[in-house]
Amino acid sequence: MATRIIHLINPKTDSVTTRPLYMNRALYSPLAGLLAVAAAIPRDQYEVVLTDENIEAVDFDLKADLVGISAMTSYVNRGYEIADQFRAKGIPVVMGGVHPSFMPQEALKHCDAVIIGEVELVMDRLLDDLRRGSMRGSYKSDVLHPMVGVPMPRYDLLKKNRYVNRTFVQTSRGCHQGCTFCAEPLMNGLKFRYRPVDEVVRENGELRLTLHLHQRRRFLRNADASEGGDARIEGPRITMAGRRNLKTRAG
């Protein structure tokens, strides 16, 4: 049974879509990235606690072995405040997400380690260093994830009644558009990397069971594609039975 605790935190952001303005529910859950991070953490070794500060307060008294904070530029300063408070208590902190990935030296003034880019291929090394007491600096994979066998996001960690739209199923990463204002090609490559269709369909079914969804379809998201982006799923055609449960959109 897991006895060590990793506390994953999404800092509060000033956005009407993430504040609980709709019958005490936020319009969207901003936790897709942290659900993927949680999936990369071995369940038999760690208990994961997930906090979205947009809907609940951060428990600074939680006795965690590691705190992980994901932040975009618009709310990274709040992320730094949270990191500073936990480090003052002697708890190691790792940060990730878009802003720390592009500004790791800035982030390292507030945390012990930074994950640059995707987490799946570096998580084992980071946790090994954590156990040895040597977790520090930047962690970055030399290659991008092939998108085959991506771990199932930890949908069970979501507060089920706090979001109108609870989460999305990721079908791809990267983008070929190369827009000058967008960080996606620099983060995830200047091309789409597609997940196998059968894995997407299976995850969609698991998501419906985990979150007790009764509607027929869930949205699939081509992660970070621009409005004119390609929302295809590469691979064999989806069967008609699978197609009835799926609806795609770029977003």
Domain boundaries, the chain: 4-139, 168-250
Question: Low-confidence residues of the chain, pLDDT below 50?
Answer: 214-241, 243, 248-251
pLDDT of residue 93: 98
pLDDT of residue 158: 86
pLDDT of residue 212: 66
pLDDT of residue 213: 57
pLDDT of residue 31: 84
Distance between terminal CA atoms of the chain?
39
Look at the block and give the residue holding tokens 């594609």: 225
Q: Which CATH superfamily is domain 4-139 in?
A: Response regulator (3.40.50.2300)
pLDDT of residue 68: 98
- Report residue 233 as tokens: 């799923």
pLDDT of residue 37: 95
- Report residue 79 as tokens: 């992320």
Radius of gyration of the chain (CA): 18
C-alpha distances in Å from residue 159, one per residue of 9, 49, 166, 235: 13, 11, 9, 33
The residues that bridge with 9 in the sheet, in sequence order, are 51, 69
Residues near 228 by beta carbon (within 8 Å), at least 6 away in sequence: 177, 250
Q: Which helix (H) or strand (E) holds 172?
A: strand 169-173
